[in-house]
Structure 1
């Protein structure tokens, strides 16, 4: 799965037509939606907001931030507790592949930070993790400005504990 995601992201980043189609000023869009985080030990949920700057018909930059809204129960050494995402933030380079005026595919690669909190038997702890993120998705616009977005992104954590989280998101998108 990792190789498929990387190959798709690379193809969309390098599928750039002639520079004559460049955008004079950045085209902006924003989105808000729900992101499901599928980790090794817990499934969490977050509300995610994004701001995109399209610098070229096939290339742009994206910033995203999320706040956790769904926690998961965990058991450690027979003691029950909960785990939740506190927040995350990331920046991405995005390659777009327009299919028609309403549909576009994209691949993205970036870097982010995530904070997870755990509460077990009244003891609370949190940990930050830095990650290299990569994924693919699609935008479908109903009209010229309103649409939906679906994406899958993997977060490969770079710290000593390592690990990975796969995220699945659905969002409302608005072009400005």
Structure 2
């Protein structure tokens, strides 16, 4: 039993520098693309940028930020107006499953904030919403560095009448 414990301790000491190196030197990916936001009353569009740091092949973190580029027309109580996506930002924990060297699946869960603006009849209102986000997607790399990303994310807004919002994204992704 003592030999098993000593061998386990020795392996732990040998593996610790490799684990620390992967945390201090993560694989970094950046992406930029278009995201469609599908809500109950409107469909909006945004340009989204992301930065992902994978600490090993399977676990990482991701930050994203978007700003609106496509508004939608809405009608409330017979009054027509515009709904626009101002911005959103979110942070995620990402789990990755490498299928081949060029193709990987991922799932993510995180927390974000979104700001929407409505304008009608000369009046405007801005609403912020905090959300718990979760989703899945895939990256395909044409070569070792350049590829495409497709993803879906559900935003569950935390306030009483916040509802849900689905996003669908298509992006260019680059490994650094």
> TM-score per shorter chain, which class?
0.7 to 0.9
The match for 1:135 is 135
SS in 2 for 1:56: coil
The match for 1:94 is 94
Query: C-alpha distance in 2, partners of 1:38/1:162?
Result: 14
Q: Where does the alignment leave 5 or more consecutive residues of structure 1 unmatched?
A: 1-18
Matched residue count: 158
TM-score normalized by structure 1? 0.87
The match for 2:44 is 44
SS in 2 for 1:99: strand
Q: Larger RCO: Structure 1 or Structure 2 (Cα < 8 Å, ≥ 6 residues apart)?
A: 1
TM superposition shift of 1:126: 0.4
TM superposition shift of 1:162: 2.1
Query: C-alpha distance in 2, partners of 1:35/1:167?
Result: 6
Greater gyration radius: 2
Provide runs of 4+ in structure 1 moved above 2 Å.
Answer: 19-24
State the superposition RMSD in angstroms.
Answer: 1.4
Query: C-alpha distance in 1, partners of 2:43/2:162?
Result: 17
TM superposition shift of 1:160: 1.8
Query: C-alpha distance in 2, partners of 1:99/1:26?
Result: 19
TM superposition shift of 1:133: 0.2
The match for 2:114 is 114
Query: C-alpha distance in 1, partners of 2:59/2:30?
Result: 16
Query: C-alpha distance in 1, partners of 2:56/2:161?
Result: 38
Query: C-alpha distance in 2, partners of 1:152/1:81?
Result: 28
Deviations 1:118-174 (A, max 9, x none): 001110100000000000000000000000000000000001222000000000001
Deviations 1:71-114 (A, max 9, x none): 00000111100001100000000000000000000000000000
Query: C-alpha distance in 2, partners of 1:169/1:107?
Result: 14
